[in-house]
């Protein structure tokens, strides 16, 4: 802690006391606000993490439709071939 400096005049002492009291109140309020924000951020992070984990499965590409598309393309390529009997 810092040592309190001596204030020579009584009016200055009164003002010093008022200012210190106001500063302590502001610091206390800021600390409480920061604590509240940290709790909110922690809860938000937990909920968001749970949501992302559950939604991750839906974000994966559907491989079955991809397979069907590739098989269709191969089938079309195979049917487009013509056999020439000239030899």
Per-residue pLDDT tens digits for 70-82: 999 999 888 887 7
pLDDT confidence of residue 46: 96
> In the prediction, which pLDDT does 65 show?
85
C-alpha count within 13 angstroms, C-beta hemisphere, residue 33: 6
Mean pLDDT of 12-39: 92
Q: What is the pLDDT of residue 39?
A: 96
Closest of 42, 47, 2 to residue 20, by C-alpha: 2
How far is the CA of 52 from the CAs of 40, 41, 48, 57, in angstroms? 18, 16, 6, 9
pTM above 0.85, yes or no: no
pLDDT tops 70 at residue 18: yes
**CA dist., res. 57 & res. 61, Å (int):** 9
d(CA 40, CA 46): 10
The DSSP output letter for 80 is: T
Give the residue-averaged pLDDT of 57-70: 81
Question: Whole-number mean pLDDT of the chain?
Answer: 85
Q: At residue 20, does pLDDT exceed 90?
A: yes
């Amino acid at each position: 802690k810092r040592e309190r400096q001596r204030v020579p005049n009584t009016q200055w002492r009164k003002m010093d006391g008022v200012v210190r009291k106001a500063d302590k109140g502001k610091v206390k309020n800021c600390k409480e606000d920061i604590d509240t924000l940290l709790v909110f951020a922690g809860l938000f992070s937990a909920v968001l993490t749970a949501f992302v984990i559950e939604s991750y499965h839906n974000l994966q590409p559907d491989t079955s439709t991809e397979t069907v598309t590739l098989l269709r393309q191969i089938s079309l390529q195979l049917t487009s071939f013509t056999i020439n009997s000239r030899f």
